[in-house]
Structure 1
């Protein structure tokens, strides 16, 4: 198949699952082309990025002086304008999407690439341009929805309108599918394609365990890191030599550092920022436990099934997380990890203590965790589910 990926930002540190997906599709012989609206120019180091062969095209940025270029000048432009969904009410947003459509048409018309299907991630308003392109070229499109694009306040009305248009909707968990059906009133079929990893990339190397716990993620509210820091402060009373490494960057960095100062544990917490894949794996595998204390943010945003939990599980580092959204679909409490109610540092501390004090428990849960990832979350297996969604959409 010739699959045209239309993405908002590419490549993006927090969206390595898209790299994994494209990498595996290419390995299976599919011809991929990528059109992205923006290059975030992040300092990203991932093996998959250097291994994918897909051509990447970026559309010209939208500036006030260039908006006039979005006005219809050809039959294709008129068709796109007519196909503008009535629900896309803001004139400014309509013009931006028509501009994006014209830019994408220019890229396609200047090549010999005739896509069989259009694929995109995240139900944001800029994806109306994918509907326009689909209409112009009579090519079906598939959208995969994740977390912030459907859970944030205000997304219900916007998302339910946009999601009427794709020929196929894909999401990452049963929790998400139920949410879409109940909150978005979607009656069309929704396929579940778990965001998966390459277990062989996260093969444990038998590194010597260190007296520390680790967290990874953007330093934003929904990750719940302030509860992780509070839980760590409680643990320090019983485990004075314990250290805490937090890997990632974000808007709450200064606030979290201030909290650790107030709790008297700043010297024992290492804020590392973004690091390479190799260093990330090393930091996680060396830890006695991995903690991701996810919560629902005030905006309604929350994680669905964080990829980094799967990476920690593949490395056999036992994980402690919360019962938010689809995380209980990934972690079976007491078997391959431990779960706590969100925003409860006392219980988080108790769960972590169970792992810290018992090497046998850590090894048993770590082994079970890797088995689950290899069986259920291997991208080499689950790519077949994506392919089947594409085939059903085309036929």
Structure 2
């Protein structure tokens, strides 16, 4: 139904909820709830993971799941379609959908229309605004639902949605959205070049340090010389092409024989089996542990026990790439030395030689060299870990970004408490 004059609630739309890899979204929702905003969550997919982060359990917002595949809930989809046909916004929606379908003739496009029918019909009247995470498929659903109901909408763009969505689609969506934010200067530059001045702003996710324990006061001075106490290397991330884990396996296999080490990976992903096979073929399977997806307390415990964190992100063949991965900031929260790639949003936080070591994306030999050098130098690891922690506290707190989002969202639902801060 259309929004009422008293609409104060905001619908936060996501691709899937909850997701272990999207702590930044849960962190934002929880913080906005803490500021007193009235939220509800709409998800295009049901969760696929059993583990749940503790902060997701603290979120009070009601969650509504749209039909992931239209044939699974035909009655719900038909009710939404018949309702939508009678709405004033149906004609503008149909015009936009036909234009989109002509350029993207896929079942995925039809699915988003069906989900929009359902969402538009089922949105409570007290929802006055829609805010969507990701500018690709979730934003298509929100855009269509907004056209049907006359609601305003805004977006948060992140990584894959920026780099794999065609320019024409990003341009048209941004033209209709009231405003948008994104989490890296790298991504902001791309979107700002396609949109009206001031439409897209850079707002870092940052990290809510209140959710993390204080970093360890000290770490063992492991240098890889003792086979009974090897250097502990850890990474957290989905096993997908853009994370560069194939390069990491090559880099680990090339480490000198006199360096004793162990590596642990946390995360699910389609490439897990191929990475395990690669480690086996490289002769390092006995030194590598693939732990699967874990909830955040388990991840933090692993970070606290490690000596080095590594994330070799790169551009995937599909064009997909990272933004500024939250796991890098989480490693910094525990004063853990970081080795990563000079790519995407990573150098906006980690500067080579200052807060960590950066190598060129895809260069497994340079990655191996950086790991070898830092594994042997516990004093340098301490220095880099301390510097990353201080930069995190000083420049990447979550509070600044939440201030901006709160002010802007309050303005859109007619309940301003402060003016939006300049970005």
Contact 2:146 2:153 in 1 (8 A): yes
Give unpaired runs (5+ residues) of structure 2: 1-7, 221-229, 415-423
Q: Which residue of 2 aligns with 1:204?
A: 215
Q: Cα distance, 1:96 vs. partner?
A: 3.8
> Quick one: distance in 1 between partners of 2:54 and 2:268?
21
Q: Secondary structure at the match of 1:38?
A: coil
CA contact under 8 A between 1:213 and 1:244: conserved in structure 2? yes
Aligned pair partner of 1:300 in 311, 319, 325:
319
Aligned equivalent of 2:396: 377
Report if aligned partners of 1:72, 1:78 keep a CA contact under 8 Å in 2.
Answer: no
Structure-2 separation of matches of 1:53 and 1:2 = 13
Contiguous gaps of at least 5 residues in structure 1: none
Report the equivalent of 1:108. Answer: 123
Please state if 1:221 is matched with 2:233.
no
Equivalent residue, structure 1, for 2:178:
167
Most deviating of 88-97 and 261-270: 88-97
Q: How does 1:174-193 map to 2 (within 5 A)?
A: 174-182=185-193, 184=194, 187-193=197-203
Deviates more, 1:254-263 or 1:331-340: 254-263
Taking structure 1 as the reference length, the TM-score comes to 0.90
Partner secondary structure for residue 127 of structure 1:
helix
Give the corresponding residue for 1:123. Answer: 135
Within the alignment, does 1:9 sit opposite 2:20 as a pair?
A: no
Other-structure match for 1:355: 374
1:27 alignment counterpart: 34
The 2-side partners of 1:100 and 1:83 are apart by 13
C-alpha separation between the residues in 2 aligned to 1:285 and 1:93? 42
Count residues in correspondence.
389
Identify if the C-alpha distance between structure 1 residues 95 and 258 changes in structure 2 by more than 3 Å, giving closer, same or farther.
closer
Deviation at 1:339, TM superposition (A): 0.4
Deviations 1:98-130 (A, max 9, x none): 432332233334xxx523421111112342332
Residues 352-371 of structure 1, C-alpha deviation per residue, up to 9 Å, x if partnerless?
23322222211111111111
For the residues of structure 2 that align with 1:373 and 1:267, how far apart are their CA atoms? Answer: 35
| Contact 1:125 1:158 (C-alpha < 8 Å) held by counterparts | no
Q: Secondary structure at the match of 1:132?
A: helix
8 Å contact from structure 1 (residues 295, 302) kept in 2? yes
- State the match for 1:156 in structure 2: 167
Question: Which secondary structure state, in structure 2, belongs to the residue aligned with residue 9 of structure 1?
Answer: coil
1:38 equivalent to 2:57? Answer no
Supply the distance in 1 between the matched residues of 2:306 and 2:90 (Cα, whole angstroms): 53
- 2: CA distance between counterparts of 1:263 and 1:380? 45
Q: Residue 290 of structure 1 aligns to a residue in which SS?
A: strand
Give the stretch that moved more between structures: 72-81 or 363-372. Answer: 72-81
Q: Distance in 2 between matches of 1:263 and 1:91?
A: 41
Alpha-carbon distance between aligned partners in 2 of 1:294 and 1:168, rounded to the nearest angstrom = 29
1:167–1:393 CA contact under 8 A, matched in 2: no
Contact 1:322 1:340 (8 Å CA) reproduced? yes
Q: TM-score, normalised by structure 2?
A: 0.84
| Match of residue 253 from structure 1 | 272
2:265–2:291 CA contact under 8 A, matched in 1: yes
Instruction: Report whether the alignment pairs 1:54 with 2:69.
Output: no
Aligned-pair Cα RMSD in Å: 2.4
